[in-house]
């Protein structure tokens, strides 16, 4: 078993998708009244890099992925209670070039 990084926080929803199109599965976690996490697979064994996503409002109880803006990158859709449902648009990672 591989443990995901970061402090312990209870998950409420979980989904898997290749969000950065590197061919490796990434893990998205939704939580109750706190920001969720995207765990990007680093390609180094069973290790992941965590980044925060969403505004931390409501309870994320459903997650899905699709390219809503047509840029070729998957976007995160969250169904929430006590807050509006939302779409978080992703895009090509910034490389500084």
CB atoms within 10 A of CB 3: 9
How far, in whole angstroms, is CA 4 from its chain's centroid? Answer: 13
Distance (Å, whole) CA 32 – CA 80: 9
* Tens-digit pLDDT string for the chain (97 aa): 777 888 888 899 999 999 999 999 999 999 999 999 999 999 998 999 999 999 999 999 999 999 999 999 999 999 999 999 999 998 665 544 3
Distance (Å, whole) CA 66 – CA 77: 8
């Amino acid at each position: 078993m591989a443990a995901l990084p970061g402090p312990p926080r209870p998950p409420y929803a979980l989904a898997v998708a290749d969000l950065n199109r590197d061919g490796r599965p990434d893990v998205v976690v939704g939580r109750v009244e706190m920001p969720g996490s995207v765990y990007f697979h680093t390609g180094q064994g069973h290790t992941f890099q965590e980044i925060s996503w969403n505004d931390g409002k409501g309870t994320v109880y459903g997650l899905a992925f699709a390219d809503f803006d047509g840029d070729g990158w998957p976007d995160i859709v969250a169904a929430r209670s006590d807050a509006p449902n939302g779409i978080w648009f992703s895009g090509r990672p910034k490389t500084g070039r």
